[in-house]
Amino acid sequence: MDLFLQTLVSGFLKGGLYALIGMGMTLIMGVMGIINLAHGQIMMVGMYITYSLFALYGVDPYLSLFVSMPAIFVLGVTIQKYLLNPLLRAETILPENQVLMTVGVGMVLTEVMRFIFTSDYKSARTSYSNATFFLGEISFSVPLVIDLFIAIMMTVALFLFLVKTDTGKSIRATAQDKEAASLMGINAERITYITFGLGSALVAAAGTLLMPIFYLFPDIGGPFTRKAFVICVLGGLGSTVGAIFGGITLGLAEAFGATYVAMEFEDMIGLVMFILVLLFLPGGFKRITKI
Amino acid sequence: MLKVEGLNVFYGDMQALWDVSFEVRPKEVLVLLGANGAGKSTILRTLSGLSCAAEGSVTFNGVRLDQIPADKIIQHGLVHVPEGRRLFPDMTVEENLIMGSLAPEPKRRRQKTLERVYGLFPRLRERMGQYAGTLSGGEQQMVAVGRGLMGLPKILMLDEPSLGLSPLLAQEIFKIIRLINSEGVTILLVEQNVKQSLKVCNRAYVLENGRITLSGTGEQLSSNDHVKQAYLGI
Ligand SMILES: Nc1ncnc2c1ncn2[C@@H]1O[C@H](COP(=O)(O)OP(=O)(O)O)[C@@H](O)[C@H]1O
Ligand SMILES: [Mg+2]
């Protein structure tokens, strides 16, 4: 029973971070209608920013959120503005080419980081990296609990932004009917910049939150892109609330898979779920709410 | 007030509008009549920048609207309620209405305009928290018109607002249009419902195969033999 509860707790804690990763991707999917296959690589760049601040100046990883998020927001805006939107203007190019472009962007980001930081494993070990506390027999990792807390706050902030502000509403409106949105005076191009920037900042936040407990090397992006994609498919493509459920589901599935099946299967579990969902529950957990 | 001159509009190789010219005068209800596919929606889409004219000009109070992007048009007071309503289905009624008032001046007066729209359509106040996609056709049309009013239009362009509504609801919509007009909003109405719209309008143009073929006051057109035969079925 304790093993079960322990697995539940660690899966849920990890799921909070996965939700953050998935929300970033699903936001982009909802507005631009594309799968951003550079999502994990963008997160990886955010992690290197956090690592650099830590290694060079001793900045606490949590504090570096204030740098990594805005920096990666700008990176996202730049990618959308100068690499993705120009493709829309060329009429001969298929919409799928935007997705191919994100693959290219992902590769370039990976190789640039390899050039700067080499392929060596990096980490940002802090005094609290291995700290735990116990409730009964169940242990809680201190950094993961902090991560979950921050992830929840960011999720709430994102929802307030999408529901309460005109810009947030404009993002949702553009996702639902682009042409009607432009009749309302919404500049669709500007919305695409903001959305890609926001989605990127969210995944950068997740990467930064992972730094105290995780290791970092340039090729870490790819697996996270795949995870993000699985989360979005679980949640229903383009659904923000779905991404939260998708993230937590994936976190739990990985934890239970690692505990009860075998450690090596952790990464495979997500992909198996992915196939099962596509086969038996196309559409994922979408439509629980409309955001 | 609004002057349209020599519009030629294409979809790919197909020409949808041929040398279309007309004007909208202050405070009037102007109707564009025409059968399905005549090009009525294309005219409104060109005025609001969704379609681009190959030739011709659109001048609104001295501003060349054909030279500014679609998302800037609404700021000038030309508001387009598109065919098929085009609400944001996963947003609530009130959110849809708010989306109509993003420009600076409408945003400042948002609360007051919202009250006015709820006054015109009490049903929308009851439904304000409901998702627009779950409303009935008539309610959706009310939201579409209300969302248009939220932009504080000088000219409100309505594309077939009675489409798909029961005769009773259609009549209701025409009544509302007249009411909005009496409050000082100029109306450019596109309709296939010829009988009703000739009754509410001051002037009308008839569009056939992308060309304007007739124009006149409502009474003139109602008694015109061609209109009687082709559109009124008498
Ligand atoms: N997006 C489009 N692409 C190609 N042809 C179109 C498009 N929209 C309309 N058309 C054509 O343009 C003509 C005018 O259409 P439209 O303006 O919608 O007519 P109406 O509103 O009077 O029914 C029709 O022949 C229609 O088939
Ligand atoms: Mg039409």
What local confidence, expressed as pLDDT, does residue B93 receive?
97
* Closest-approach residue (CA) in chain A for B71: A185
pTM of the model: 0.92
pLDDT in tens, B16-33: 999 999 999 999 999 999
Q: How far apart are CA A210 and CA B141, in angstroms?
A: 49
What local confidence, expressed as pLDDT, does residue B164 receive?
85
* Identity of the residue in B50, B89, B102 whose CB atom sits nearest the CB atom of A184: B102
Q: Is the pLDDT of residue A124 over 50?
A: yes
Which of 163-222 (A) contact B at CB < 8 A? 166, 169-170, 172-173, 176-177, 179-188
What local confidence, expressed as pLDDT, does residue A97 receive?
85
Containing domain of residue B2, as a range?
A: 1-77+156-166+191-234
Q: Ligand 1 within 6 A of B11 CB?
A: yes
Looking at the domain assignment, is residue B70 inside a domain? yes
Query: How confident is residue A93, by pLDDT bands cut at 50, 70 and 90?
Result: low
Q: How far apart are CA B219 and CA A59, in angstroms?
A: 79
From the number of C-beta atoms within 10 Å of its C-beta (0-12, 13-18, 19+), residue B192 rates as middle
Q: Is the pLDDT of residue B138 over 70?
A: yes
Any idea what the CATH number is for the domain that residue A175 is in?
1.10.3470
**One-letter amino acid of A231:** I
Domain total for chain A? 1
Q: In Å, how far is B74's CA from the nearest CA of chain A?
A: 6
Contact: A169, B89; criterion CB under 8 Å: no
Contact: A290, B90; criterion CB under 8 Å: yes
What local confidence, expressed as pLDDT, does residue A90 receive?
72
Domain total for chain B? 1
What local confidence, expressed as pLDDT, does residue A92 receive?
63
Looking at the domain assignment, is residue B135 inside a domain? no
What local confidence, expressed as pLDDT, does residue B44 receive?
96
Ligand 1: which residue has its CA nearest to atom 25?
Answer: B37
Contact: B86, A173; criterion CB under 8 Å: no
Closest CA to A209 of A16, A11, A27, A12: A16
**Which of A69-78, B48-57, B165-174 holds the top average pLDDT?**
A69-78
Contacts of A154 (CB under 8 A, 6+ apart): A20, A202, A205
Looking at the domain assignment, is residue B142 inside a domain? no
> Can you list the positions of beta strands (E) in B86-191?
155-159, 186-191
Q: Do residues B197 and B31 touch, judged by C-beta distance below 8 A?
A: yes
What local confidence, expressed as pLDDT, does residue A95 receive?
62
Taking the alpha carbons of A108, A109, A110, A113 in that order, is the dihedral positive or negative?
positive
DSSP chain A: -HHHHHHHHHHHHHHHHHHHHHHHHHHHHHHH----TTHHHHHHHHHHHHHHHHHHH---TTTTHHHHHHHHHHHHHHIIIIIIHHHHH-TTS-THHHHHHHHHHHHHHHHHHHHHH-S--EE---TTTT-EEEETTEEEEHHHHHHHHHHHHHHHHHHHHHHHSHHHHHHHHHHH-HHHHHHTT--HHHHHHHHHHHHHHHHHHHHHHHTTT-EE-GGGHHHHHHHHHHHHHHH-TT-HHHHHHHHHHHHHHHHHIIIII-GGGHHHHHHHHHHHHHHH-TTTTTTSS--
pLDDT in tens, A159-216: 999 999 999 999 999 999 999 999 999 999 999 999 999 999 999 999 999 999 999 9
Residues of chain B with C-beta less than 8 angstroms from the C-beta of A185: 71-75, 102-103, 151
Contacts of A284 (CB under 8 A, 6+ apart): A232, A233, A234, A235, A236, A237, A239, A242, A246, A277
Average pLDDT over residues B71-99: 95
Query: How confident is residue A265, by pLDDT bands cut at 50, 70 and 90?
Result: confident
pLDDT in tens, B35-54: 999 999 999 999 999 999 99
Any idea what the CATH number is for the domain that residue B38 is in?
3.40.50.300
Query: How confident is residue A137, by pLDDT bands cut at 50, 70 and 90?
Result: confident
Residues of chain B with C-beta less than 8 angstroms from the C-beta of A186: 71, 102
Looking at the domain assignment, is residue B209 inside a domain? yes
Q: Is the pLDDT of residue A289 over 50?
A: no
Q: Do residues B146 and B120 touch, judged by C-beta distance below 8 A?
A: yes
Containing domain of residue A129, as a range?
A: 2-289
Q: Is the pLDDT of residue A259 over 90?
A: no
H/E stretch holding B205 reads strand B203-208
The ligand 1 atom nearest the CA atom of B159: 21
Q: How far apart are CA A33 and CA A40, in angstroms?
A: 18
Looking at the domain assignment, is residue B150 inside a domain? no
Average pLDDT over residues B187-216: 92
Query: How confident is residue B233, by pLDDT bands cut at 50, 70 and 90?
Result: confident
Average pLDDT over residues A127-141: 90
Share of chain A above pLDDT 90, in %: 70
Average pLDDT over residues A104-119: 96
Q: Is the pLDDT of residue A68 over 90?
A: yes
